[in-house]
Chains A and B, each alone.
Chain A
C-alpha cells in the first residue's frame, strides 16, 4: 500500500522545491516543469537506467554525474539538470546513439514525436567522428500489425519491460547482447507464436521509430488530437483519437492520464476504423415490402411519428443500449417512459450484469463495484473469479500484473477459472472448478474460513447483519463435499481460502489480516445460479472483513463502455434514473414534476401521457414472449443487434419478424436492422459529445473527434427530434445540458457537470458540486437502510442441463481478446480482423483427439437445440470437457446452441453452460461458377 512520504526540500537548478521524500530526480523535475531527457524512463516500470541520457549533476560532497531516473531525492539535496557537465554527458551519449541511428526522419512514422529527433536538435549533435558508414537494416514484420527497424532502436528495453512487467505477456525480448542486441519476438520469428495480446503498448512506449504500427503511416504534425473515452469495454480508458482532416488515423493512450495511464488493449488501439467503414449507414431507410428505400430524415421522423401514435398503450418496447452515452441513455428512457408511456425498457445488461446488480444491491446496497481501478496497483491480494480480465478488460489485468509482480513485496493472486488466461501464469493458486459450480466453491471457502477461525469477528459483529442465518446455510458445504461438486481438490480450496482470508499478509509480526479484493466476471453471472454465485462471493468478502475498506472489496469486470451508466440512467424495466423504483410514487412524483411539464400544446403533439407508468415493464428476456403474445407490438432498438446476442436466435428472429413496427438505430445494417421498418443511421462514439460511466463509477467525457459521417446523426439528436415530433419539447442544444438535468434528478450525479469532468472523471456518488467523488464505496457504512451489510444465504444451483453420452462436452460462450460484443464494430476494424478473421472454438487436445479433430479443422457443434459449423483451435488453454466459443461472428451463431435456461430473478441466460458434441465437418463445397 502506498505510504504517504513526508515532504522534503531540495534544490533543482538553483530553485527550491518541495517533493515527497525519495521522489526520483526525473519525476521531481517533471512535476515542476523541468524535462530531463530520457529514453528508458517510464513511470509505471521499475527504474532501468540504461540510456544514460538523464544524467544530472548532484552537488556537494559525494556529488557527481548520476542518472536522474534512479536517483531518489533526499532532504537538502542540490541538483542541476542542465549544467554544462550534464549537457556534455548527454552530447556524449548522443554521439554514441548516432553512430548507427538511421536518422531517416523523413520516412519514419515517428518523426515529429520522436525523442531522438528532439534531442538531436536540442543537443546539436548529428554525427560522430567514427569513420564508418551507418549500418542499415530492413524493416521486419513481427506480426500483421507490428514491425521493427533495428537501426532506429536505442535498446532502451521499454518495449520488453512493458510487455513483461505490465501486460504480462512476455512476448518480446532482447536477443543477443552488447552491440548485437535486438528486439525480437520471444522464441520465434512471429509474435503469433507468443502470448502477445497485440495491445501495441510496446509501440506506444518506444521513444523512437523502431517499433511501429504497420497500419499507420503519417506524421504527427498533420494530426489533430481529441481526448476521449474508449468505446469498447467498461474500464473506460482515456484515448487520444488522432485525426487528419476529419479521418481517424490512430489511437493512443496518454501517458500519466486516466485509469489506463497511457496503456491500451488491442481493441482500443486498433479497433477504430469501423467508424469510417464504407458499410456505415448514410441515410434513413424505410421498408417498402421486402426492400428498403432511402429516405430523408424528415420523412423518416414523420413516418415513425405517425406509426408510433398507435403504440402508446403499453405495447411499445424500448431496447436501449449499453454503448450510447449517459445523455442518450437518459433520453431513451425518457422517450420510452414519458412519450411512449411504458416501462418496457431494457438493455443487454439483462444478458450478463443483472445478477450482480441484484446481488450487490442486496448485500451492500448499491449495484456497483466497490473499488477504484486506481487502487489495484497497490492491492495486496486478489481473488479473480470467472473474469477473463486479460482479454475482456485488459487494463485492469495490467495493474493486477504489476501488483502481483512487485519486486520484494508481491501481491497474492487466486484465479478461479476453468480456462487459462495470462493472469493464471502469475497466480499463487489457480482453481479450475467445473462450470456452474463457482457458488459452491465460494461457499466452501467461506465455510473453511469459519471452521479454521479465520473469520473477521469484529467486522462481522460491527458492520454486518444476518450472520447466523447464513452460517447455518453453509452446513452442506464442507470441504469434502465441495471438492466433489467442483472437482477442485480440497487442499487447493483450503489454500485459496487461507490466502484470501490472510490477504497474502506474509509479513511477519503483522497482527491484522487483509485486505483482499475480489474481481468477478460473467463466469459467475451467466448461470441459472448467477445471483447466488455473486451473493456467495459477497458473503466471502463479509466474513473476512474484505469490503467497505480500502484495497478490499467486490468488483465486477464485465460490461460495455457504458453498462454502468445505462443502468444508472434507468434504462431498465423497474427503476427510474438513479435506481428509483418505478413503483415508488414519491420517487415518480419527483421525476413527473420536471418531465411532464414539457408537453407542447398544439395540434402536432400526441396526447400527453400522465402520470408515469408505475408497473415494471417486460425484460429483454421476456421480449420474444411478449411479442408472441401480442403484448408488445412495436419495438425501438437503439444500437444493439438482438438477433446475434439473444439466447435463442431463431425465436428472437421470429419475434422481430412478427412485431408490427420496428425501428432500429444503428451504425450498420445489422441482422436486426434488416428486419426493421425504419432504420436510422446513428453516429459512432467518435462523432459526438457525451459521457460514459465506467465500471468504477467514473463519469468521463466522450468527445467528438470527427464530424458525423455524412447522413448520420448522434442518437441524442435523433431522440430529441423524435420526441419533438411527438409533441414533447426538450430544450437541449448540447449533451452538457442533458447532464445538468441528470445531475438535478439523480442524487449520486448531483455534483457532476462537464466543467468538473473536463480533465478527470468523477466517481459517483458525487452528491454535491464541491464533492470530490467516491473512489471506494461503503467506507463509512453500507448503503443499506441499516448501514450494515447483509449476509444472504447463497445456494448452489446445478446447471439447467447436463452432459450425457450424446452431448458430452460443455459449451461456454466467452468474449475474445480481439473482438467485442456481436462483432459489428471489430469485424470492420483492420487490427482485430488481421488477428482473428473468422470464428473459432477452442477445444482441449484430449477432447479433440477423442472426436478426431485436428487443429484448424472445420467442425460441427451440436447442442440439444441446433448446430453450428466453425473452425476448431486445439488448445490447452481450455480445460478438458469444455468448449470455448466466441460470440462475435454471425456466420457461427452461438445462440443457436445455447440453453434457454434463465436465472429466475433476473432472467439472465445460462450462456456459460450448454451440453454439446463436436464432430469434424466436411468442408462446405463452394460451387465454382
Chain B
C-alpha cells in the first residue's frame, strides 16, 4: 500500500468555519498565539452580552448534536441539569478509544484553547464551577498541551476565579484515563474519575440528575464542546447554514482502512460516503472495490460497498440500519475476508467488555469462541444460527451500549456476507469439484 499517505492538511484547513482553522498555526497552545487567532471571542461575548440561559438557548437553537456517538442534542442535555444551587460538574469525554477514532486527539493537540473556551461557555451556561477533561491515558502529548493551555488560560483570566472580571469562576482539571475502551462510556467514565473501576452505572438515574460524586453532571464529547465557541460567537443561524437542516454543522470524519489518504476530514454533515472516500481520502489503493464500510469504528452496523452514496449525517444512516456514531469510517476493500475481520472485531469487544453485566460478559466470550472455530474451519452447520441467537440475547439486554455494539459486526456481516461464513463451515460450503480436491493434494 505504498500509495497511502496519512493526511494532515486538507478540507477545513484555513476555512473560517472550521474547527481546524488553526491546525497549521504553530504554538497554538500559547495563549498569546491563540488570542491572535481569535480564541475566547465567544466567551467574551457571552459574558458581556448573554445570560447563562441565553447561551443554552443559542446552543439549543443551533441544534448541536453530540459528536460522541449518540447524537443527543447538546443544548437539551444542558437544560436537563437542575437549576437548584449546589455542586454540578462538566466532564468532557476525551477518552477516544473506539478503533479508528482519532479526531478528538487532533482537536486537542492543535487547538487546546478552542476546547477550553467551549468548556468555559458550557459551564457558564449550566452554572458549573468544576470541569474535568477525561483524556485517554495514551494521549500524553494532548494531555500536556491541555495542562499547559489551562495554566495559561488561568493566568490570563480566562479560567479560575472571576473569569474576565465577572463573578463567574471555573476550574478545569485534566484527568488521565484508566486504559480501557469502556472508560469512554459516560457513566463508567464518572466511576473512573471517582476512583472506582470503570463500570457503567445502571440508569435511571441519569448523570444529569445523579452524576459525578452523585451530583448533576453534563458529559459531552470534545468535538461537541469545540463547536460551542463559534456557535456562540457567530450565532445559531450562521451555524445552521452548514450541514443539513436536521444535522447542522460540520463533522470531523476520521477515515482509515483501505484508503489512500487516511486522516481527519472536517466536512459539512451530510457529505456522502463516496465523496469522503474518493474526493478526500484519495480512493482505494489499487483502485480495488469497496466491500464494506464501518461507519463508526467497531461499533455500528456495516454499510455494504454498494451503498456509498449514503449521506453521512445523523438521520440517513438510520435508514439503512446503522448510525453515524463517532464518524470514524473504516473502509474494507474486496480483499478482506469478512469472517476474519469480524472475528477481529469480536475479539476486541470480548477483550473490552467490562464484565459487569451478564449478557455482554458471557456473550462476547461465547461469540468469540464460536467465531474462532468457524474461522478455523471447525464450525458446524448450526453455528451461524447460534451466533444470531446469542446476538439476540445480548442486544437490548445489556447495561451499556458496548454490549449492543459487540453484536453489530456479526449481525451485519451475516446479513450481507453470509456466504463467506458458509464457505468456511464444513457441510455448508459448496461442494467442490472432485478434481480440484485431487489437485489440492
Contacts and interface: CB of A to CB of B under 8 A. Distances in A.
Contacts, number: 110
A52 B210 CA distance: 22
Contacts of B85: 508-509
Interface stretch (B250-258, B359-367, B415-423): B359-367
Contacts of B386: 129-130
Given A97-B358, A180-B355, A92 B202 contact: no
B350 interface: yes
Contacts of B355: 155, 174, 176-181
A99 interface: yes
A408 interface: yes
A406 interface: yes
B359 A96 contact: yes
B361 A65 contact: no
A174 B362 contact: no
A501 to B, nearest CB: 21
B348 to A, nearest CB: 11
Contacts of A89: 397
Interface residues of A, number: 45
B86 A96 contact: no
A174 B353 CA distance: 14
Contacts of B354: 177-178
Contact of A173 (B197, B353, B398): B197
Residue from B182, B197, B202, B396 having most chain A Cβ neighbours under 10 A: B202
B397 A409 contact: no
B9 to A, nearest CB: 39
Contacts of A72: 204
B393 A408 contact: no
A130 B368 CA distance: 12
Interface string A157-201: 100000000000000011011111100000000000000000000
B353 A52 contact: no
B326 to A, nearest CB: 22
Interface string B306-327: 0000000000000000000000
A177 B202 contact: no
Contact of A96 (B203, B204, B358): B358
Interface string B178-193: 0010100000000000
A62 interface: no
Interface in B177-226: 180, 182, 197, 199, 201-204, 210, 213-215
A507 interface: yes
B30 interface: no
Contact of A50 (B357, B364, B382): B357
Nearest to B354: A177
B425 to A, nearest CB: 13
A65 B197 contact: no
B174 interface: no
A70 interface: yes
B405 to A, nearest CB: 14
A178 B202 contact: no
A800 interface: no
A867 to B, nearest CB: 46
Nearest to A48: B202
B397 A407 contact: no
Nearest to B362: A96
Contacts of B365: 99, 178-179
B399 interface: yes
B361 A179 contact: yes
A69 to B, nearest CB: 7
A775 to B, nearest CB: 27
B274 interface: no
A96 B355 CA distance: 13
B352 interface: yes
Given A49-B399, A97-B362, A177-B180, A409 B214 contact: yes
B406 to A, nearest CB: 10
B407 to A, nearest CB: 13
Given A99-B362, A178-B351, A409-B214, A52 B357 contact: yes
B214 A96 contact: no
A50 B188 CA distance: 13
Given A55-B397, A65-B397, A69-B202, A49 B364 contact: no
A95 B393 contact: yes
B234 interface: no
Contact of B214 (A65, A154, A406, A507): A406
Contacts of A50: 199, 202, 356-358, 399
Given A70-B203, A408-B214, A178 B361 contact: yes
Contacts of B215: 408
A817 B85 CA distance: 43
A49 B197 contact: no
A174 B364 CA distance: 19
A49 B201 CA distance: 8
B21 interface: no
A180 to B, nearest CB: 7
Nearest to B363: A96
Nearest to A160: B197
A550 interface: no
Contacts of A410: 214
B369 interface: yes
A436 B382 CA distance: 77
Contacts of A92: 359, 393, 397
Contact of A178 (B201, B204, B214, B353): B353
Contacts of B360: 178
Contacts of B210: 407-408
A93 B359 contact: yes
A22 to B, nearest CB: 10
A51 interface: yes
A51 B365 CA distance: 16
A97 B382 CA distance: 21
Contacts of B204: 70-72
A181 B361 contact: yes
Nearest to A55: B397
A180 B360 CA distance: 12
A67 interface: yes
Nearest to B383: A131
A52 B397 contact: yes
Interface in B61-100: 85-86
Nearest to B215: A408
B304 to A, nearest CB: 30
A179 B213 contact: no
Contacts of A53: 358
A702 B356 CA distance: 41
A99 B197 contact: no
A177 B369 CA distance: 17
B353 A179 contact: yes
B396 to A, nearest CB: 7
A67 B356 CA distance: 14
Contacts of A55: 397
A177 B353 contact: yes
B197 A174 contact: yes
A131 B199 CA distance: 30
Contacts of B382: 129
A404 to B, nearest CB: 13
Interface in A68-110: 69-72, 89, 92-93, 95-97, 99-100
Interface in A33-68: 47-53, 55, 65, 67
Nearest to A71: B204
A13 to B, nearest CB: 21
A51 B358 contact: yes
Residue from A49, A157, A509 having most chain B Cβ neighbours under 10 A: A49
B366 A130 contact: yes
28 contacts: A49-B201, A49-B399, A50-B202, A51-B358, A52-B398, A67-B202, A70-B203, A72-B204, A92-B359, A93-B358, A95-B393, A96-B359, A96-B362, A99-B362, A131-B380, A155-B358, A177-B352, A178-B350, A178-B361, A178-B365, A179-B355, A179-B362, A181-B355, A181-B361, A406-B214, A407-B213, A407-B214, A409-B214
The 6 closest A-B pairs by CB, nearest first: A408-B214, A49-B202, A407-B214, A178-B353, A181-B355, A96-B362
